[in-house]
Structure formats: C-alpha cells, structure tokens
Amino acid sequence: MQFEERQERGVLVVRPLERRLDAPVTQEFKQYMAGRVEAGHRLIALDLGEVEFVDSSGLGGIISLLKAVGESGNVAIFGAGSQVTTLFRLTRMDRIFPMMAGVEEALALLIPVCR
C-alpha cells in the first residue's frame, strides 16, 4: 500500500494511494498510521480522494487511528467521493469524523485544537 504525505501548518496530510480501503490492506494502513502517530503526529487530515470504496474493516482502521491520536489529537477526513461518504453516513461515523470537502476545511477544523 502506498501513501503520499505532507505537512501543512502542523497537520499531517495523508493520502492513501489505493482504490479500496478494505480487508486486504487495512492491516498495512493501520501499521503505517500507527507509525506516524508514534512519530509524534497527533493532528491528521486523511485525504480519501483516491479511495472509491471503504469496507467495514477499513472504517475500523480509521477508528483505530482516532483512538491512537488520543484526546489531545484529532483526525479529519476530506476529499471523499459520494460512495465513501455514503458509507461513513450509514455507519454514522460522519458524526465522529466530520467529512470536509477540501484540505482547507480539514485544516480549519483541526488547527484550533492545538491552540
């Protein structure tokens, strides 16, 4: 599984380069993200622009990430297509991970937390 990542204003922006975030890749996703959290990143914006489908294990991986960043951190999601947005809504995970349209909205959501 491949990722693109960059830092913007203290937020780690991660873009998984996969069409499906599902069982076969979830473990790898979790390990990679756990590594980033261990490296000290607590504010993470997840760019799901490449992802067309997330199954329940993929969603579980994203929940693990939220748990890993702890109370002092936060995770925002942006760039998700309609299919992925629907999956977040049907699980009601969109109430925990606000679904932002673009990176600026995601950063705006995350940055106040560190002040």
Of 31 and 83, which CB lies nearer to another protein in the complex structure? 83
How many C-alpha atoms does 86 have within 13 Å on its Cβ side? 5
4 bridge partner residues: 15
Q: How far is the CB of 107 from another protein (least distance, A)?
A: 17
Q: Are 72 and 43 in contact (CB under 8 A)?
A: no
Taking the CB of residue 29, how many other CB atoms lie within 10 A of it?
A: 23
Residues binding another protein (CB under 8 A): 19-20, 24, 52-53, 55-57, 59-60, 63, 83, 86-87, 89-93, 95-96, 98
Of 11 and 51, which CB lies nearer to another protein in the complex structure? 51
Q: How far is the CB of 98 from another protein (least distance, A)?
A: 7
36: tokens are 């980033």
DSSP 39-64: TT--EEEEE-TT--EE-HHHHHHHHH
Q: How far is the CB of 62 from another protein (least distance, A)?
A: 11
Q: How far is the CB of 39 from another protein (least distance, A)?
A: 26
Q: Are 69 and 34 in contact (CB under 8 A)?
A: no
Of 17 and 96, which CB lies nearer to another protein in the complex structure? 96
Of 6 and 95, which CB lies nearer to another protein in the complex structure? 95
